[in-house]
Each structure stands twice: as structure tokens, then as C-alpha cells.
Amino acid sequence: MKRHLWPLGLMAALSMLGPAAPARAQLVKEPTLPKASEKKDNRPPVPPGVPTNAENVHLPTEGEVILGRDGSAEVEKVYKVLTSGPYVDRVQRVAREVVRAIHRPAIAAEYRRVYRPKADDKGLRVPFEYTIKVIDDEKLVNAFSLAGGPIYVTRGLLDFTPSDDELASVLAHECAHVAYHHVVQVVKKEKKLTSRQLWALLATVVAGAAGGGAIASSAGTALMGAQLVTQAMMSGYGRELEHEADRIGVMALAGTQYNPLGMLTFMQKLARGDRLRGNPDYGIYQSHPFSNERATTLRKQLEELGYRTDPGSLRQVNGAFLVTTAPVLANNAPAVELRLNGNVLFVVAAGEEGLTPSERAYRMARRLEELFQNNLSYNDIRRSPDKTTLMLKGVPVIHAYPEDAAAAGSAEAATERAMNEISRALLKEQLQNG
């Protein structure tokens, strides 16, 4: 199914110019906390903030949290948010670990090292309110964050990232935008805009991306938004923040159950799209810097942290060589299909060395996975002289016994199909990675 990728300028605004109030009152007026009698929903009040100091400067201000809540309410007027089901279950499972990681003391310490509090900072600091929700849109491939903690991912994005390591990297990137107050930084950069004007801009972006809707704004406001996004990106400001979100996302994932190599493999997917479509506008990550540049920077960071970035290591997290098994009937007898990325590789109809066909298929699948992760290449594929055995890196991995041969028509046909499927997957990887 064709997936729609949001225009880049729009998502630049949505990811980086969401509703927020800056920490420095002289730049943008902090919004007034709503009174209890003015509340229009059942949200709990924002907890009382404490004055900014060197130890809590990494926390959001009251204004950030308020406007993040307001932004979330407006987003959910436009999009249907899933509350249950496999997509929600998967996101919540991965998000729990990612949010714990972004709360690690090292992440806060790094923020305090880079962004020291100003003497005139009057902001009142409160806890982050991370909430990660799924938008029910399978065609939209996107994720975005709002000030203070709200994060949204689409069903299309979840389908685009079958690897949990890649999904974790997307969530870590968005959490980094929140944790490092990138919305606030853009507000400070654009001193002429009030926080409410920035929220009007966000409303325009959301409505425009949704194809219109309840919060569509005037053409003049939309033009202002486009100009602001262009200015921010042309100035290189967006480039700096995107690199920082990548860097902090990797830093957060290091040491968790999710491999930060997923950040690199995900970026490589976007880079492939850039090459195939002539640097298109992606919604999920901003086009400035382009994906190739960011992939290069990520590779360097990961290698400095001690991670291998060879093809075999990347295959462990990108899901490009998925080996599975499925029970079938072959000549009216129980058998097992060995599949590579959903395509039939070999039909296992015979047992071997006391193993049932199912146990033999499982062992073959594990051998294939190990070889793929050991940098198996196109030149490593051979067949035995009688063409009954497929050799990978000189190791006999798939042998067609008479029962296997009968399921495929002949032993030669059985091993030829396996050889062709593996060769096709390896050549595809080589073409994609240029």
C-alpha cells in the first residue's frame, strides 16, 4: 500500500514549532495558568512549579506543559487516536523502556552541561508529562512531539518500522526533542512570535496536513508559518536540533534492551528514499540535514561508542533478512516452509539426524540468521557439484533429501529456489545501500 509522507516543511513546524513557552520571560510571555473554574476538561492541574536552578534546569516550565496539553487536545480533534489493540500494545511496550532511558541522570546531566541556566530565568519547573499515542492512519508515515511530553506515532510509521529497535530509535529521537526543549529553543530564536502565535501556527500545520479540518486557519497565518519554517531551516537551526535529537536518542538507548543501531538503519531507509525520489520531503525526520548526512554522523557516533556498523550487525536490527517457518502439506504429508522475508525459500519435508521436519526447519532458520549476521555476501553462495546442497560460506546449510526434492519437483529445483531467494535479498540490500 502506498504510504503518504507529509511535506517536510509542515513536519518541521510540527516537530519543532509546537506550542511552548520559553524559559526566559522577556522573550515570550508565559501563559497564565488556567483557573479551576475555567477548565473545559478533566485534566488534572499542572503541579506547582519550583524556581529554576542549576539542578532542575533540564525540566520543562509550567508554560511548556500547559501548551503541550493544549496542543495534544487540538491534535486529537483532527486525528483518531487508538486506545487499544496490537499497535498500541507494541508502542506502549517499547515506549516504557525509552521513557525510562530518557529519564536517566546522564541525559539530564548532559543537558545541564550544554544549557546552563540564565541568571534572569524566571521559569517555574515541573516534571515532564510523556505520553505516547498512536494515530489511526495507516497511510501516514510519521511521528512528532509537542512541548512538555506528548508524542504521537502513526500506524503507517509502525508498519514502516517492523523492527522494535528502529521504533525505539524513533521514539528516542522524539523524546530527545522534548527533553532538550527544542520547541522552546525555536521560540527563543523567533523573538517576534508570541507563544500563542506559535500555537496558531501549529494549528495551521496540523489542519493542513490533515487536509483541512476543525482548526484550519487563514491563508495569511499559513503563509507566516511557511516563512517561519523556511527561515528556521535556511538558518541551519533545524539542522542543529535534529543532529542533537539524534545524538541524545542514541545516548539514551545505549545500555537498554533496544539496539541504538536502529537509529542508523532507520536513517538509511530514509536515505534510500532520498536517492530513489530525489531527496523528497519526509515527515518523520526533517530534510535539513538530509538523511545521508545524518546517517554518516550517526555511524561515526555509534562507532565511537564501540558499536559495530558492518552489514551483519545492521541486519540484526533492520529486519531486512527475516527468516521464518510455517507448517504446510507437501504431497499430503506434514512439511514446513522455510521463508525469507515472506518468500518461500525451501520446503522441508524430510527429517534429519533424528530431527522432525519442523525441528530441522528451525535449525536451518537459525543457521541462516547466524550467517546473515556474519556478513554473508552474494559471493558466499555456492551449490554442490550435484546441485543437491546449498553451501553458504563453505558450510552445507540446505540439503534436498528425496522427500524435499519431491516437494519441489527435483533436488536441483529445490536448491535453486533457495539460492535465488538468498541471492535476491542480498542483491537488493547491495542496491539499496548504493
pLDDT at 278: 52
Q: Domain range spanning residue 89?
A: 8-312
Q: Locate cell 541504538: which residue?
A: 260
- Into how many domains does the chain fold? 2
Indicate whether 105 belongs to any domain: yes
Residues 286, 325, single domain; the answer is no
Pick from 250, 280, 312: which residue ends a domain? 312
The backbone torsions φ and ψ at residue 406, rounded to the nearest 5 degrees and listed phi first, read -65, -35
* Spatial CB neighbours of 296, under 8 Å, sequence gap ≥ 6: none
pTM for the model: 0.76
Cis before residue 51, ω within 30 degrees of 0? no
Q: In a structure prediction context, what are the per-residue pLDDT tens digits for the chain, which is 434 residues long?
A: 333 333 222 233 334 223 332 222 223 333 333 333 344 557 788 888 999 898 999 999 998 898 788 888 888 888 899 999 999 999 999 999 999 999 999 999 999 999 887 777 888 999 999 999 999 999 888 888 888 999 999 999 999 898 999 999 999 999 999 999 987 777 666 555 555 555 554 444 444 433 333 333 333 333 343 344 444 433 444 778 888 999 999 999 998 999 999 999 998 887 776 665 554 444 443 444 467 788 899 999 999 999 999 999 999 898 889 999 999 999 899 999 999 999 999 999 999 999 999 999 999 999 999 999 999 999 999 999 999 999 999 999 999 999 999 999 999 999 999 999 999 999 988 877 65
Query: What letter represents residue 285's amino acid?
Result: Y
Residues 68, 170, single domain; the answer is yes
pLDDT at 196: 54
Residues 286, 376, single domain; the answer is no
pLDDT at 36: 35
Indicate whether 1 belongs to any domain: no
Residues 226, 273, single domain; the answer is yes
Q: Are strands 124-125 and 50-51 parallel, antiparallel or unpaired?
A: antiparallel
Cell of 137: 492512519
Indicate whether 3 belongs to any domain: no
Angstrom CA distances, 282 to 16, 116, 273, 433, stand at 14, 33, 9, 19
Residues 95, 200, single domain; the answer is yes
Backbone φ/ψ region at 341: left (φ over 0), alpha (ψ -120 to 50), beta: left
Task: Give the C-alpha separation, 30 to 26, whole Å.
Answer: 9
pLDDT at 216: 33
